[in-house]
A and B are shown apart, each in its own frame.
Chain A
Amino acid sequence: MGVVVLLVEIIWLGRGGQGGVTAANILVYAALREGLYGQGFPFFGAERRGAPVMAFSRISDRPILRHGMFSEADVLVVLDPKLPLIEATRRVLVRDRGVVVVNARDDEALDPRHYRLEGSAKFYAVDATRIALENKLVVAGWPVANTSMLGAFSRATGLVRIESVVEAIKEYFKGRIGEVNAKAALQAYNETKLVGEVARSVQVHG
């Protein structure tokens, strides 16, 4: 046991059924391909389809000792563009020098006032819903944007290479479904853009 050199905590905020837990888990597969330790887990307890819900990931270059849920994150990934508008994003405190990655096609979801920021933060956006639809990634009538957001995560943070994300997705989903999801992730990676930067805190905690 030694000093933790790298420990990144990530919150996936989506709606129950959108695949945030799957994304959190696939990230562990991708991290492993980078020689990194990972942890991925759902919100503990029961979840309701459609309700705002969190999933969690940790990535470290050392065995991860801590367990359990957290409400402060280095990276916040938002799977549903409407969640910032109902302020569900304010449940998370984005740490100083944090990264926010949002499935959004317009600026409204990216307004920093919808977020709790400890200090500076970079905002990245990708239209993951469109990418999901283009790739016919629709389950029970819902576009599934989780794998696209994994690609966006790779682009925004650089913590895992897109090659590792693509391979991790194919490992997780075998066969054609893996291919399609991997393609969506790569497409999202290429379309993800830095859309804003907050230099310092715009909101006090709470």
Chain B
Amino acid sequence: MTAILEESRGGRILPLTGNYAVAMAAKMARVQVVAAYPITPQTSVIEKLSEYIEAGELEATMIRVESEHSALAATFGAAIAGARAFTATSSHGLLYMHEWVHWTGRARVPIVMAIVTRAIAPPWNIWPDHSDFYDQRDAGWVMGFAMDNQEAFDLTLQAFRISEDPRVYLPVMIGLEGFILGHTTMPVHIPDQEAVDEWLGPRRQGFVIDGSEPLAHGNLAWPEDTEEMFMDIHRAMMEAKSVIREVDEEYYRITGRRYGGLTQCIRCSDAKYVVSSMGAWSGDIMEAVEKLRGEGYPVGVLRFRFIRPFPEEDVAEHLAGKKLVVVFDRAISFGSMGQLFMETVAHLAKHTGKLPVLRNIVAGVGGVNVEWREFYELIKDSIDRFEEGGELEYFTWYHKARR
């Protein structure tokens, strides 16, 4: 939501779909290997990269595999051998490669993967929600999520820098909703290639297996050694927080754009109520909040740009001491609540003895379209009822029947 037409540094502005913005970022990172399998709504990311390679604009090898399981395995193989490697998938493709998501994360191999999110079947559905993305939370990947096409580009490029930082050396996945961003054309600011080259630098990774040195990977380890390696992953993940903030600041140097680190908080400092969210509809929520501000409601928006590592400090800073916090989730852990809500509350509780009044609203699951005006109504209703001293439902599944 940066005013790119007014504030960009150098480079050029192109109309791009979210998927093409991701492909452009991978190209500008000069990825050397792409291994992928087509799936709606991701396919146009890989199609575009394939076109770049065919046209000679990108010097890379495209490995066409027979499944997503092999796609990430091949990406891993290229990455572990020293190549900057990239892949993208959605929904069932992501679930099919889930074993490799864990393997690559626990192997500490820098990789970047775009997840163009889509609901999980049955019933068969190609519309976007966050279920496939949240399903990957525990695999040792840094996980970011875009709000618009510009951020899809920025985050993908930043992901390479974060992943290849020696303090991190973990794979990074970037989420963007299918269709809502993936197939939507918007203007995107593209920095100059030279500026990106200088900012990103050459490929870095913890270890390389290219046949020149004998090195074994993935062999049997005792439980204690295994646990120590996993403790290292956790430490690297915590370290990634400061790396993400640094990268955000340094990216400002070449683009004139920064987002605020792991989260973006709009209208938060004097807010009594805060609405929290992740993804494209955060923009709709910001528009709703602007309208409410105009009507005198002291309300702000805490938008998550990253959920792994979880931005605990941001949550403490922006949510502790508020009167009311409403968290919107576009997925649910069946039998529990929305994932973003659960994590927000768990981390907030560590930092404050007196929790705000909390409300979780699950919506948009299965790709249900939610318009900014509906957010306006839901947020206004929550605040009004809170101020009138009424009981607020802790958990609500906001659903509209098909018209």
* Residues of chain A having any CB pair with chain B under 8 Å: 1, 3-4, 24-25, 28-29, 32, 35-42, 44-46, 62-70
Contact = CB atoms under 8 A, between A and B. Distances in A.
Contact of B1 (A1, A40, A69): A1
Given A1-B286, A65-B287, A68-B281, A41 B4 contact: no
Contacts of A38: 15, 185-187
Contacts of B250: none
Contact of A68 (B5, B187, B266, B371): B371
B167 interface: no
B283 interface: yes
A32 B185 CA distance: 11
Contacts of A69: 369
Interface residues of B, number: 34
Identify whether the interface residues of A are mostly helix, strand, loop, or mixed: loop
Interface in B104-134: 126-128
Contacts, number: 91
Contact of B286 (A24, A41, A65): A65
Contact of A25 (B127, B185, B281, B294): B185
A4 B287 CA distance: 9
B82 interface: no
Contact of A32 (B15, B127, B148): B15
A68 B181 CA distance: 9
B184 A67 contact: yes
B310 interface: no
A65 B1 contact: yes
B183 interface: yes
A95 B369 CA distance: 20
Given A32-B15, A41-B184, 19 more contacts: A1-B290, A24-B185, A28-B15, A28-B186, A29-B15, A37-B187, A39-B184, A40-B15, A41-B180, A42-B179, A44-B180, A46-B126, A63-B2, A65-B287, A67-B180, A67-B284, A68-B281, A68-B370, A68-B371
B180 A68 contact: yes
Interface string B169-203: 00000000011110111110000000000000000
Contacts of A40: 15, 184-186
Nearest to B286: A65
B186 A44 contact: no
B287 A66 contact: yes
A118 to B, nearest CB: 15
B357 interface: no
Interface of B: 1-5, 13, 15, 126-128, 148, 178-181, 183-187, 266, 280-281, 283-284, 286-287, 290, 294, 367, 369-372
Nearest to B367: A44
A134 to B, nearest CB: 29
Contacts of A68: 180, 280-281, 284, 369-371
A24 B2 CA distance: 22
Given A1-B286, A40-B185, A44-B127, A70 B371 contact: yes
Contact of A62 (B3, B180, B184): B3
A32 B15 CA distance: 8
A31 to B, nearest CB: 8
Contacts of A32: 5, 13, 15, 187
Contacts of A62: 3
Interface centre among B148, B294, B370 (most CB of A within 10 A): B148
Contacts of B187: 28, 32, 37-38
A68 to B, nearest CB: 5
Contacts of A39: 184-186
Contact of A67 (B5, B283, B367): B283
